[in-house]
Structure 1
Amino acid sequence: MSKKTYLAVDLGASSGRVLGGRFDGSKLQLEEVHRFDNGPIALAGHLHWDLLQLWQNIKDGLSASGTKFGSEISSVGVDTWGVDYALLGRNDELLGNPYHYRDPRTSGMFERAFAKVSREEIFAETGLQFMEINTLYQLLAMKEANSSVLEAAEHFLMMPDLFHWLLTGEKGNELTNATTTQLFNPVTKSWSKKLIDGLGLPEKIFGEIVDPGTVVGPLRDTVLEQIGLNGTKVVRPGTHDTASAVVAVPAESSPGQMPDWCYISSGTWSLMGVETPHPIINEQCAEFNYTNEGGVYGTTRLLKNIAGLWLVQECRRIWKQRGHEYGYSDLVRMSQEATPLASFVNPDHADFVAPQDMPAEIRDFCERTGQIVPQNDGAVIRCVLESLAMRYRVVHRKLQDLTGTKINTIHIVGGGTQNQLLCQMAADACNCQVVAGPVEATAIGNLMLQAVAAGDIDSLAEGREVIRNSFPVVTYTPKTPTMWDDAFPRFEKVTQVD
């Protein structure tokens, strides 16, 4: 086939980028065109996303892509994080700037929700992990505050749906991101009328559920005037970034099989799970507080949300404010010099959600749980990385319990694959093989689904074969598993994680 280029707009919680994927029929080559910062903006006591700046950066990236790749460009698709959304009013008017999931307005919403619909009923309807950042509690917070914005809303769009609408003028709720709301029933594959009615949310705002891999449409005329790209289609990938990252796992299995591998999409969050052929919604899953999110081609992502490298990023930010600007390689080197397995934290503890001073919170946690308090920056980072590896151990075991399948390999994809120390810690803590790569998994998965939609790749299995042929991986085997076995009871005692 002649060379084609697909464009991935990949928005993460701390940065965004526009990448081109050049496909020659057998291999995919990535080229980053534009990268930009992302993060919360404090405004009048709340946290928001800077939507206008994000949109401008997307247009800048697409315009630069047109200059770089020209007529090779076939399509573009957008993926983002989950749970956050925008509301449109009459005449498709955007109502306000989207809230950031770390905004404190959802504090206490569990109790408000469970007073209307029981926790058991919510889980039975959605099979989703309980987190106060979930869209359900964000919308309930608006309802409880008598929000005039919610009253005026006509349409509900998750963040990638919003950008696809801005690009094309077409509205729709793509499945993989809709499943992160805790308002979606993964069995019926539709919005949960029971929860929407039970919580008093306006049913009219929830639109058609659309499968990943579908064509949204051509670019709006007004967008074409600004960035060019005439003839380029917009295609929905797995718009939740983890769904796209799982597409890029270089494993040899097809959808519909229960695999002998699990994945960790490693970045600000660590999303660890199994690609199952169907949802697993039972008492054990509810007890473990695991989640059933939508995957591509009818699969389910049975997974656990773990705080991930957020703790490292926040430590780095605080130290930079104090005049110590560490690169990530510096942090790894410093942590390697610290005493191993000295102390642990629960990365998912409420103290670490949005602290003013992350290093101080980590030390405070260690002190009040009777552990050795990290005395320097390297020891703080080692504590975080080893705690993450221990969390992986817990989740690895429980995924095997839930699926009844032995998991022999952990595929780590995403930016966290570049942290070789954490990858080796994961192999040791879980006592199994770890395969790390590709780094740009989310963008690659986004591009792969566009290629399938274009008919240039026949299936997900074929797409994963292309990925194996296109991008290197690194394999880690356990080196010191006994040390981690010995330390694990202490981790469980001081962290009490689910």
Structure 2
Amino acid sequence: MSSVIAFDLGASSGRALIGTLADGKLTVQEVHRFANDPVRTGKHLHWDILRLYHEIKQGIIKARQQGLAFSSIAIDSWAVDFGLLDRHGELLGNPYHYRDHQTDGAMAEVFAQVPEQELFGRTGIQFLQFNTIFQLHAMRQRGSVTLEQAERLLMIPDLLRYYLTGEQTSEFSNATTTQLYDPQRMDWDRELMTRLGLRPELFAPVVMPGTVVGQLRPELAEELDVPVCPVIAVAEHDTGSAVAAVPAGEAPFAYLSCGTWSLMGTEVSEPVLTERARELNFTNEGGVGGTFRLLKNIMGLWIIQECRRIWVQEGQDIGFAELVELARAEQACVSLIDPDDDAFFNPAHMPSAVQAYCRRTGQPVPETPGAIIRCVTDSLALKYRYILGLTSELAGVAYGGLHMVGGGIQNRLLCQLTADAIGKPVWAGPIEGSAIGNILVQYMTLGKITTIGEARQIVRDSFPMEIYEPQNSAVWDEAYAGFVQLTGLR
């Protein structure tokens, strides 16, 4: 029996989990959970990166206090955001949050230098205004002193690993999300960087998931009162880890990693760089074993989370479970939104943004929390149907159902409505998909698991899966036709 510790950092919270593999089964125990709240200073929104590092240390301490020894450490997190270090290895300011408005207009400015078709052909990455490439362009355009002084760029998990080990490397799955990585040459696109006025030497050498990138620094091990142990680069983009934990017995398969963001796609051996993929704004992000995740970002549960945050501020402290039950009591598909409309990216008042969309499109305006959440949930399910169809088209595969993983599957109404909308079964589980994938890759690195197929079999044997069968297909077919017409989707 052996154990490892995984740190899974989401956009709203983080957690430390001990994974133990014994007799072909994996058990996962949460030892620490903490909030990950962005901080607004002046005009900008930042991550509190030193607080996250502090919480990682607290997770290690709590594991030790509970008598839980571990053989290795790994971190996964969201993508695209980064920290900048000076020539002494010191952090130059708090990393920007991807929802910061500094990148407004940056995409068009970059496209003026590198046309869309060329940029997609070089990187295979979906165009989103918060991608690393656009953040760096925005900083350069305003003459950022931080960027001028920087000697090294590290993505969020790279940066936290650097604090643990003193080693500066970039992990593959996260590096691909920068839109500055060439997936065909499997290296940074230095010519692209130079064209955009970025210094190629800013970017650290890329390592693949499953690489031991260093050891816990002896002075840190002494501070935390734990033995020195390996620190492993897993699939550090949390979606890459979540896909590694999909308990699929079939191949290929379609997945939905469901949380603050919804990420839907499939696993492919080579990036899909066709004009159709660019036109549909799909992305090709790195995965475990040199694979790629052909997927699409969907706004996800962010809309529901923000609605609840506003209601709590206004004195309506309604829990997520209660919101789900209020939505369940509402009539289906009365009003719909496109979850990916720019109006929902970071509005000041999310419930009002949902109502304004419905008003603008001539639909009944939802007035109560239950009606608003039902509108959002129905719309997410219908958007999942749309993206699943496009994934099938690009991959040339007819999927028999959809694997859903992540914290969002605790919303059982969303799971059922997704099955209803796609007209196929939904296989939901595990909840802690990213952390479990993180743990599995650590065990692969340590030689305890041989292949990703074996890892997924362990997930099937270790964690329950709930199956949602589709219902009311005719009703949802009609609703989908209306959704496509309303949103203008192709």
Q: Structures share a fold, TM > 0.5?
A: yes
> Deviations for 1:325-384, whole angstroms, at most 9, x for unmatched residues?
111110111001111111111111111111111000000000000111112110100000
Aligned to 2:18: 20
**What letter corresponds to residue 285 of structure 1 in structure 2?**
A
What residue is the counterpart of 1:275 in the other structure? 267
Please, which of 76, 90, 104 is the counterpart of residue 87 of structure 2? 90
Give, in whole Å, the separation in 1 of the partners of 2:354 and 2:219: 49
Q: In structure 2, what residue type is equivalent to 1:196?
A: M
Q: CA contact under 8 A between 1:78 and 1:239: conserved in structure 2?
A: yes
Query: Within 2, Cα distance between the matches of 1:88 and 1:497?
Result: 42
- Could you tell me which of 63, 66, 77 is aligned with 2:64? 66
Structure 1 position 163 matched with structure 2 position 160: yes
Structure 1 range deviating more: 318-327 or 225-234 = 225-234
Letter in 2 for 1:336: R
Letter of the structure 1 residue corresponding to residue 341 of structure 2: H
Per-residue deviation, residues 74-112 of structure 1 (Å, max 9, x unmatched) = 001000000000111111111111010001000000111
Which residue number corresponds to residue 256 of structure 1? none
Distance across 1 between alignment mates of 2:140 and 2:102: 11
Cα shift at 1:409: 1.7
> Which deviations, in whole Å up to 9, do the C-alpha atoms of 1:236-269 show, x marking residues without a partner?
110000000001100115xxxxx34200000000
Counterparts of 2:203 and 2:50, CA distance in 1: 24
Deviation at 1:126, TM superposition (A): 0.7
Number of residue pairs the alignment of both structures matches: 490
* Letter of the structure 1 residue corresponding to residue 271 of structure 2: P
CA-CA distance at 1:422 after TM superposition = 0.5
> C-alpha separation between the residues in 2 aligned to 1:226 and 1:98?
26
Amino acid paired to 1:142: M
1:172 pairs with 169, 173, 181, which one? 169
Give the 5 Å matches for 1:478-489: 478-489=470-481
Please say if 1:49 is aligned against 2:47.
yes
SS of 2:289's equivalent in the other structure is coil
Contact 1:260-1:408 at 8 Å conserved across structures: no
1:120 Cα shift? 1.0
TM-score normalized by the length of structure 2: 0.99
Cα distance in 1, alignment partners of residues 57 and 459 from structure 2: 28
Give yes or no for the alignment of 1:206 onto 2:206.
Answer: no
Residues in 2 aligned to 1:32 and 1:138: alpha-carbon distance in whole angstroms: 34
- 1:5–1:69 CA contact under 8 A, matched in 2: no
Q: Any residues of structure 2 matched to 1:129-140 within 5 Å, and which? A: 129-140=126-137
Q: Which sits farther off after the overlay, 16-25 or 74-83?
A: 16-25
| 1:290 and 2:282 matched | yes
Structure 1, residues 432-456: CA drift from partner, whole Å, max 9, x if none?
1110000001000000000000001
Is the aligned partner of 1:318 residue 2:316? no
Is 1:418 the counterpart of 2:415 in the alignment?
A: no
Shift of 1:222: 2.5
1:349 equivalent in structure 2: 341
Q: What aligned pairs does 1:3-402 form with structure 2 within 5 A after superposition?
A: 3-70=1-68, 72-253=69-250, 259-402=251-394
Q: Is the 8 A contact 1:8 1:76 kept in 2?
A: yes
Q: Which runs of 5+ in 2 are unaligned?
A: none
Report what 1:474 is aligned to. 466
CA distance in 1, matches of 2:367, 2:120: 42
Paired residue secondary structure (1:401): helix
Residues 260 and 409 of structure 1 are in contact (CA less than 8 Å); yes or no, is this contact kept in structure 2? no
Unaligned 5+ residue runs, structure 1? 254-258
CA distance in 2, matches of 1:318, 1:201: 39
Q: C-alpha separation between the residues in 2 aligned to 1:231 and 1:375?
A: 56
Q: Secondary structure in 2 aligned to 1:443?
A: helix
Q: TM-score, normalized by length of structure 1?
A: 0.97
Amino acid at match of 1:448: L
Percent of residue pairs bearing the same amino acid type: 46
**1:5/1:73 contact within 8 Å kept:** yes
Return the letter of the residue paired with 2:6: A
Alpha carbons 2:361, 2:486 under 8 Å: kept: yes
SS of 2:442's partner is helix
**Counterpart Cα distance in 1 of 2:195 and 2:473:** 48
3-state SS of the aligned residue for 1:457? coil
CA distance in 2, matches of 1:197, 1:134: 17
Question: How much has 1:25 moved relative to structure 2?
Answer: 3.5
What does the per-residue CA deviation read over 1:145-195, in whole Å, with 9 as the maximum and x for residues that have no partner? 111111111111000000110000011000000011111111111111232
Which amino acid is the alignment partner of residue 31 of structure 1? Q
Q: In 1, Cα distance between the equivalents of 2:105 and 2:306?
A: 24
